[in-house]
């Protein structure tokens, strides 16, 4: 059982304050809200959570209960020390709850007391000698003296009484210090002011996670993979087999990091967001969504962004080809041999004239599935007979190329209905943005922070 499950009914963990390995103990310190206390807002508390890692260690040498008792005594005896609120153990975890004082040296104090208890447990002579309440640390003596000095200022005394009482106080304080020097001194509690802990952002994109899942509801998720920033050459070289002129000239493009869906959008995801399913092959909701136009895909992205608070969109052509190649410069992301395509894609030779559920083929080196074949995938870019039937003047920054006839839109990747040559990384085609075909779908992306 994890810590969250153990504490969820009593406390709400806000952040980790510190972690440390102390001897055989793995210790974590958390800042939490105490849900058991009927106060609004809920008071903060500090929670130690530790486990004994070596099963064969003697119980007395770790002494979880002794540690708890010692910290309880410190909280009772010293005004400046946080009070202990609870101590319990579940499933091998020991949990000690104390008041939260900003800057207090919780871990240092725990380490000091644990090591002292351990040393006492291993020392037969000191184990037989019980600790008494008369053992007062230097810190406590100083606190008593301060309290006495404050009380003297409140009581009206004549000069003779003041001298007598002050002399007695000084003598008592000197005697206490002398006696303190004759015996071993416990280490005083040290209060330090630590640097503020910056809580990591909740949003996985702001954190820069390598992958995350967006919850669409009803157990349906959009799985996203971070595509690293980098440079690549868009298009195909003149010696690539089956290349076409619209894949020229070669342009070096610098692509910023972004997130791309691991799979093409499925019928299940479409149905959850759009509320309908107009696909042709509807016998399996895990199959890619098809028979949708570029305009339909845009509406899906808008609704998905509203639901998840992430700005989903279609990829630019350069983002799509960069992600498909995954650092390669061959005809396919696995090489130039089209006879291997069956392992990576559904296309005319193996698809039986229909689409198939996602995730059944081998992914590319960046973890993206069926970038070759499956269904053609809409891109953001426009296509124009004058400008966009080649790459002359194409953007070199990874952005979509929007100019000319906006009614025509780029599609990439080939499909179940095409031969291998149209499934190459550089292969590109277009359709009118309102067209719907049962071999055209799409994949979504999100810009990284």
pLDDT tens column, 372-405: 999 999 999 998 765 557 888 899 999 999 987 7
Tens of pLDDT, residue by residue over 324-361, are: 999 999 999 999 999 999 999 999 999 999 999 999 99
pLDDT higher than 90, residue 369: yes
Look up the CATH number of domain 204-447.
Answer: 3.90.1580.10
pLDDT value for 386: 58
pLDDT-derived band at 175, boundaries 50, 70, 90 = low
Q: What is the predicted pLDDT for the residue at 230?
A: 97
CATH superfamily placement of domain 3-128: Phosphorylase Kinase; domain 1 (3.30.200.20)
pLDDT of residue 147: 42
HEC profile of the chain: CCHHHHHCCCEEEEEEEEEEEECCEEEEEEEEEECCCCCCCCCEEEEEEEEECCCCCCHHHHCHHHHHHHHHHHHHHCCCCCCEEEEEEECCEEEEEEECCCCECHHHHHHHHHHHHHHHHCCHHHHHCCCCCCCCCHHHHHHHHHHHHHHHHHCCCCHHHHHHHHHHHHHHHHHHHHHHHCCCCCCCCCECCCCCCCCCCCCHHHHCCCEEEEEEECCEEEEEEEECCEEEEECCCCCCCCCCHHHCCCEEEEECCEEEECCCCEHHHHHHHHCCCCCCCCCCCCCECCCCCHHHHHHHHHHHHHHHCCCEECCCHHHHHHHHHCCCCCCECCECCHHHHHHCCCCCCCCCCCCCCCCCCCCCCCCCCCCCCCCEEEEEEECCCCCCCCCCCCCCCCCCCCCCCCCEEEEECCCCCCCHHHHCCCCEEEEECCCCCCCEECCCEEECC
Whole-prediction pTM value?
A: 0.59
């Amino acid at each position: 059982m994890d810590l969250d499950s153990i504490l969820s009914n009593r406390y709400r963990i806000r952040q980790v304050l510190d972690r440390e390995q102390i001897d055989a103990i793995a210790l974590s310190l958390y800042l939490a809200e105490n849900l058991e206390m009927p106060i609004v807002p809920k008071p903060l508390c500090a929670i130690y959570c530790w486990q004994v890692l070596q099963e064969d260690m003697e119980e007395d040498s770790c002494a979880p209960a002794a540690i708890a008792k010692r910290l309880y005594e410190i909280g009772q005896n010293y005004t400046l020390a946080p009070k202990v609120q609870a101590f319990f153990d579940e499933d091998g975890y020991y949990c000690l709850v104390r008041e939260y004082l900003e800057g207090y040296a919780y871990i240092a104090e725990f380490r000091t007391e644990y090591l002292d208890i351990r040393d006492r447990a291993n020392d037969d002579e000191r184990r037989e000698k019980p600790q008494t309440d008369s053992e007062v640390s230097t810190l406590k003596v100083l606190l008593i003296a301060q309290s006495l000095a404050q009380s003297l200022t409140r009581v009206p005394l004549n000069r003779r009484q003041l001298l007598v009482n002050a002399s007695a106080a000084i003598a008592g304080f000197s005697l206490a210090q002398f006696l303190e020097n004759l015996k071993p001194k416990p280490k005083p509690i040290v209060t330090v002011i630590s640097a503020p802990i910056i809580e990591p952002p909740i949003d996985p994109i702001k954190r820069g996670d390598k992958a995350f899942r967006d919850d669409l509801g009803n157990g349906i998720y959009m799985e996203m993979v971070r595509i690293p920033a980098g440079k690549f050459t868009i298009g195909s070289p003149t010696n690539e087999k089956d290349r076409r002129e619209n894949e020229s000239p070669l342009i070096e493009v610098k692509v910023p990091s972004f997130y791309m869906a691991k799979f093409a959008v499925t019928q299940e995801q479409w149905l959850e967001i759009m509320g309908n399913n107009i696909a042709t092959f509807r016998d399996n909701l895990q199959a890619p969504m098809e028979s949708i136009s570029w305009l339909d895909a845009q509406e899906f992205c808008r609704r998905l962004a509203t639901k998840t608070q992430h700005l989903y969109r279609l990829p630019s052509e350069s983002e799509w080809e960069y992600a498909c190649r995954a650092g390669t410069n061959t005809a396919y992301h696995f090489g130039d041999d089209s006879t291997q395509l069956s392992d990576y894609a559904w296309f005319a030779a193996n698809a039986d004239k229909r689409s198939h559920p996602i995730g059944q083929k081998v992914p590319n080196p960046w973890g993206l599935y069926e970038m070759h074949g499956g269904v053609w995938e809409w891109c953001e870019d426009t296509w124009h007979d004058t400008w966009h039937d080649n790459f002359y003047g194409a953007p070199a920054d990874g952005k979509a190329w929007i100019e000319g006839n906006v009614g025509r839109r780029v599609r990439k990747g080939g499909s179940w209905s095409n031969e291998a040559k149209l499934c190459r990384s550089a292969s590109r085609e277009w359709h009118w943005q309102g067209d719907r075909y049962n071999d055209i779908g799409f994949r979504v992306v999100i810009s990284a922070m």
